[in-house]
Structure 1
Amino acid sequence: MVNFFSKLLPLVLLAFAAGCTDGGKPEIEANKAVSTTKPVKLTVAHVLADTHSEHVGLVGLADELKEKTNGSVTLSIISGGALGSENEQVNQVQTGALDMSLIQAISLFQGLDSRLAVEEVPFLFDSREAAYKAVDGPFGDKVSEILGEKGLHVIAYWENGYRHFTNNKRAIVNPEDMEGIKFRSAASEIRLQMFNELGASAIPMAFTELFTALQQGTVDGQENPLSIISSSKFNEVQKHLSLSGHIWNASVLIINPKVWNKLDSEQQEVLQELAFKYRDSVRLQIADDDSKIIEELKAKGMQVNEVDTAAFQEAVKNVRQLYIDKNGDELLTLID
């Protein structure tokens, strides 16, 4: 037995020496060639066209996310409502069937909590800067808290923008001009009440069905930010654009909480920082593009006009009280 081990020991020492580098450290540790981080593949969906500023922002975010995490986190983007309406995508993120989504309004979450219809109150924000201050401050924190209780983690508030009316009937200058026009509306009691106060008809409909409905005359008009009117090519099926700016919408970047927690702290930090970076660039892009889009839509044949804002504010003043009667004024107070 002693003779056996005396022959084996030199072989063991030789094998150990072969696996070491200077200083006696194993070669694999010295080169640090193996990463123990498990790759995470994320998918984010939205209903917008590939040409929209927010899609472009998501592409930039995805590219940098892969770079800054050394490929440990990748993000695939599914656009154009390929995974269904925004309400369907919210449900998919809740259940974990979808990792992330960019939802085009806080008010689209009102099915989870009716208080979140607050964005539907017309003429709520005097300026973009006021809107940013609200969603990036205590108001946004409260919305994030509410959505957190519903199984959704908010990463950042991007921008959808100011909504304007388009239709095929007539130029809208005064509230009376809305009479008898059939508008597509989100399925929101507050939004429907706004149309009712203005004397228009409103038909609840998913955004993914809108272009065909306008094309076929199911509805006469719709209301959306200029960036969506342009990127969705509504100018091909709409004649009049009336610059009302009656509602400002955030866009909400959400993620399933279990998916968020699957990321390590460094990965979370990178995703959070990039979400803020591209939030700011998208906001800038949408604001800068508005005047350019108006000229482009004019060149494509749309007739563009301003509205009597004071008259519209007076006509819809009861909508705010309708919201308060149902939901209280906590969120409005935070905004104010």
Structure 2
Amino acid sequence: MKKVLFGTTLGVKALATTAAAVLVAMSVSSGAWAATTLRFAHPTPQSDLQHKLAEKFKEEVEKASNGDLKVQIFPNGQLGNDAQMIDGARSGIIDITLSGLTNFTGMVPEAGAFELPFMFADSSAAYKALDGASGEEVMSKLPALGLKGLAFPENGFREITNNRGPIREPADLKGLRMRVNNSITLNNMFELLGANPQQLPVAELYTALETGVVDAQEHPLGIVVSFNFNEVQKYLSITNHAYSALLMVMNQKRFDSLTPEQQQIVEKAAADATAMQRKMNTEQTETMITTLEDEGMEVNRDVDTAAFQKAIQPVWKTFIDQNGDEMIKAIQAVSEGESQS
């Protein structure tokens, strides 16, 4: 299967499209675009916790700066897909964006270690790694890319939905046309387990599921709820097969242009908004499952995790062969070795 991994570069045409979108938005209310207005773009609907994070960030920044800094939020992919928004942040067309960590692995390959299947036993183990030296190592690579890393919010653990039946063991994936993101490790995992992984932007996924272009998808619960995938998917299996972090970044030159006090305000607001979003995600997990059940999904928690962990060992080996195991060992050391390769 030919794999086309997006999230690394953006063509001139796409950049022009993104720039045009920003200029149209700016022209709507030119008076609102003072020099201290920060343009914050993210990919999810306003009902998603990623948008709640953006709103919290905006509230704190504007309050702490006494209005000297303003934040304009562009939700729901208004300024492009993930790759376009990241490149927009690198170029300065966008000031701040929020995207899956996997969308940065084309530029920082070792960051893919965080998304290796079954790396983390729970969210607290992931937080220890992301908020510690391992996360700082990833952040240290960003300035050379024109970006300032602000925080690691979360998407959460990834689960599988499909229209064929519950996913209890690796063999249940065979033959499924599975929508995947651009994570090399997850592509490799599903291909190894006999599925047919296909990359599609999340904005196109509902229609692809509805029309049968793909049979299945894997996302954290919040995305399943926010994008209403339950309307076009029958079965939800709580596989927790990978933890998905988000990465909140800012254009480095834009950050450097702020006063030291304003920089501290931005960093604190990002940290506070991330803490709030993580807490809300944890608190709402069971509620989201219940909601999906009430709306007709059949939920399966009977998953043979040990069988999956054994089956995906070649995926870990491939990653180590390509990127070494230094990051893996560092992550495991701070997350108390809750996953083994």
State the TM bucket, normalised to the shorter chain.
0.7 to 0.9
Aligned residues: 298
C-alpha distance in 2 between matches for 1:159 and 1:112: 20
Residue type of the alignment partner of 1:192: N
Report how far residue 117 of structure 1 moved: 2.0
Residue type of the alignment partner of 1:51: S
Report how far residue 193 of structure 1 moved: 0.8
> Root-mean-square deviation (CA), in Å?
1.2
Residue 332 (str. 1) matches residue 328 (str. 2):
yes
CA contact (8 A) 2:38 2:70 kept: yes
Report how far residue 39 of structure 1 moved: 5.0
In the superposition, the TM-score normalised over structure 1's length comes to 0.86
Residue 169 (str. 1) matches residue 130 (str. 2):
no
Aligned with 2:299 (options 304, 307, 310): 304
Report how far residue 189 of structure 1 moved: 2.6
Report how far residue 285 of structure 1 moved: 0.4
Cα displacement string for residues 235-280 of structure 1 (whole angstroms, at most 9, x for unaligned residues): 0111100000011011111000011011111111111111111111
CA contact (8 A) 2:108 2:138 kept: no
Cα displacement string for residues 105-132 of structure 1 (whole angstroms, at most 9, x for unaligned residues): x221112132222233100011111100
CA contact (8 A) 1:166 1:223 kept: yes
Cα displacement string for residues 118-166 of structure 1 (whole angstroms, at most 9, x for unaligned residues): 2331000111111000000000100001122222110111111000000
SS at match of 1:244: coil
CA contact (8 A) 1:164 1:246 kept: yes
| Number of the residue aligned with 2:154 | 159
CA contact (8 A) 2:102 2:182 kept: no
Instruction: Note the residue ranges of structure 2 that are not aligned, 5 or more in a row.
Output: 1-33, 333-341
In the superposition, the TM-score normalised over structure 2's length comes to 0.85
Report how far residue 317 of structure 1 moved: 1.6
Aligned with 2:248 (options 253, 270, 279): 253
C-alpha distance in 2 between matches for 1:64 and 1:100: 15
Cα displacement string for residues 268-316 of structure 1 (whole angstroms, at most 9, x for unaligned residues): 1111111111111110100110001100000000000011111111111
User: Superposition pairs for residues 1-150 of structure 1, below 5 Å?
Assistant: 39-104=35-100, 106-150=101-145
CA contact (8 A) 1:122 1:247 kept: yes
SS at match of 1:246: coil
CA contact (8 A) 2:146 2:253 kept: no
Aligned with 2:288 (options 287, 290, 293): 293
C-alpha distance in 2 between matches for 1:255 and 1:233: 30
SS at match of 1:59: helix
C-alpha distance in 1 between matches for 2:64 and 2:114: 35
Seq. identity, % = 35
SS at match of 1:169: coil
Residue 210 (str. 1) matches residue 205 (str. 2):
yes
C-alpha distance in 2 between matches for 1:217 and 1:294: 24
C-alpha distance in 2 between matches for 1:275 and 1:323: 31
Instruction: Note the residue ranges of structure 1 that are not aligned, 5 or more in a row.
Output: 1-37
SS at match of 2:72: strand
**Structure of larger gyration radius:** 1
C-alpha distance in 2 between matches for 1:269 and 1:326: 37
Residue 227 (str. 1) matches residue 229 (str. 2):
no
| Number of the residue aligned with 1:30 | none
Residue type of the alignment partner of 2:205: L
Cα displacement string for residues 27-85 of structure 1 (whole angstroms, at most 9, x for unaligned residues): xxxxxxxxxxx850001111111011121121122122112111110111111111121
C-alpha distance in 1 between matches for 2:115 and 2:196: 17
Q: Which runs of 4+ in 1 moved over 6 A?
A: none
